[in-house]
């Protein structure tokens, strides 16, 4: 099944990221339907933002020099570092929700095993 993409998946990079995530989920046994498209879309946008901002943070450094209020250069924490941290938090949430971590995958496997055993018990 081809998963429909939300309207905010509107660049070639986002389309590729969205399709990669959906394909990985399907390959690991996750059953997807169109109600999952927005969560996967938000995850795709966060992944691209993480890649972009992490790359820039690597280039700029965690500490940057800026002009202070008295015209002298000062060293301060790069605000991008907090942004990357926020994106990582978002990614962790969506990875857990979509069963993309070892812990969430083992929980999904346990639910499946319980469900299969329970249906056999009822027969």
Q: What's the mean per-residue pLDDT of the chain?
A: 86
* Every domain of the chain and the residues it spans: 12-122
Burial classification of residue 36, based on how many CB atoms lie within 10 Å of its CB (0-12 exposed, 13-18 middle, 19 or more buried)? middle
Token output for 29? 């046994």
Q: Please, which residues have CB within 8 angstroms of residue 39's CB and are 6 or more apart in sequence? A: 94, 97, 98
When pLDDT is cut at 50, 70 and 90, the band that residue 1 belongs to is low
Per-residue pLDDT at 110: 45
pLDDT of res. 20: 95
48-60 tens-digit pLDDT: 999 999 999 999 9
**Extended beta strands in 27-122, E state:** 63-67, 73-77
């Amino acid at each position: 099944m081809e998963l429909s993409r939300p309207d905010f998946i509107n660049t070639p990079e986002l389309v590729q990221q969205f399709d990669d995530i959906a394909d990985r989920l399907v390959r690991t046994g996750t059953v997807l339907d169109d109600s999952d498209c927005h969560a996967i879309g938000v995850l795709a946008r966060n992944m691209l933002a993480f890649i972009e901002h992490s790359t820039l943070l690597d280039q700029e450094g965690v500490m940057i020099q800026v002009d202070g209020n008295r015209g002298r250069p000062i060293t301060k924490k790069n605000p991008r570092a907090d942004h990357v941290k926020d994106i990582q938090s978002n990614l962790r949430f969506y990875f857990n929700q979509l069963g993309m971590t070892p812990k969430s995958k083992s929980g999904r496997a346990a639910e499946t095993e319980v469900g299969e055993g329970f249906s056999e018990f009822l027969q």
